[in-house]
Amino acid sequence: MHHSLKATRENLNGHFSRDLAPVLTIDPGDRVTFECLDANWGLEPHNGTDIDRRTVQRRPDGLDAGHALTGPVFVHGAKPGLTLKVSIESLALGGWGTTYVGGWPSEWNAKLGIESEGAILCWEFDSDGKVATNQFGDRIALSPFMGVYGMPADVPGLQSTIPPRRTGGNLDCKELGVGSVLYLPIEVEGGLFSTGDGHAVQGDGEVCITAIEAAVEAVTLAFEIVSDMPLRRPVAETPSGWVGLGFGSTLDEAMLDAIETMVELLGWKFGLDRVRAIGFCSLAVDFRVTQVVNGTVGVHGILPHGKLKLG
């Protein structure tokens, strides 16, 4: 069955929680087309100044402190210990996006010397959604994906949308566009999946804290449950190859976590023991900085398709 979720107030939330009531219940094999606001809850393009624009009214008490997410979706049969398979089938952007560069206090803005001086880049997308042009006439090719695909962890209270975690969240991994299949460990009954934070294009690292932050008219995801995938962290099969994500408070920690993800993946996919898998991580896997700006930093490994020819 194919369902649709519009970005209406009742379908929006700004946090993860195992206690959130689902706005939609589906069966494995179903598809859902989500409409999503930009991460900052915007209802209209930014004008390039600090003048407020129209946004959805956020709820108090931290309920909407994070990204504007559409969901959550309860998937029948999604149980702790199983894996949620999310196939990214199509993605249509809205007509505009915004990049915020400096101008506010943050760790990375301070390191880069742009806390007190910044810019707001306002982008318009062509009718095909392939190229963006900003107010200075700069142009860039688009490669859209959702920054947030995720579910809550099995812990009490509100969970921020800003850091990534093993159940997904603000992954900000540019490999997760159309044609990719994301696998997420499930920790709560039904999964309670939400998505949002459309990125029209982003480089590895996301060093100014934002991508081209964009509203998404429609992103269609298909959901299945996998019972024989004993992975403890997010992985994905993408057009480029198999991807394993790692997280940590430092890049060293995130790198080690990403290596562990790839070791698990190589064991599950190719039957390699730990020592051989670590060897092939050094020989065949490219490790990249996913992002450094979400509090919890990210590293991902990519094993290109066809790279391994095992005996």
Return the CATH number at 215: 2.60.120.580
Domain end: 226, 251, 281, which one? 226
Domain end: 201, 226, 251, which one? 226
pLDDT of residue 79: 98
What is the distance between the terminal CA atoms of the chain, rounded to a whole angstrom? 42
pLDDT of residue 293: 94
CA distance readout (Å), 63 to 3, 19, 76, 158, 227: 25, 12, 25, 8, 32
How much is the average pLDDT of 244-272? 97
Domain assignment of residue 243, yes or no: yes
Do 94 and 12 share a domain, yes or no?
A: yes
201-230 pLDDT, tens digit per residue, is 999 999 999 999 999 999 999 999 999 998
Query: Domain tally for the chain?
Result: 2
81-125 pLDDT, tens digit per residue, is 999 999 999 999 999 999 999 988 888 899 899 998 889 999 999
CA distance readout (Å), 221 to 36, 70, 159, 257, 281: 13, 13, 23, 27, 30
Q: Which domain holds residue 242?
A: 235-304
Domain assignment of residue 176, yes or no: no
Do 50 and 103 share a domain, yes or no?
A: yes
Answer yes or no: is pLDDT of 168 > 80: yes
DSSP category for residue 240: S
> Which of 32-46, 104-118, 164-178 has the highest average model confidence (pLDDT)?
164-178
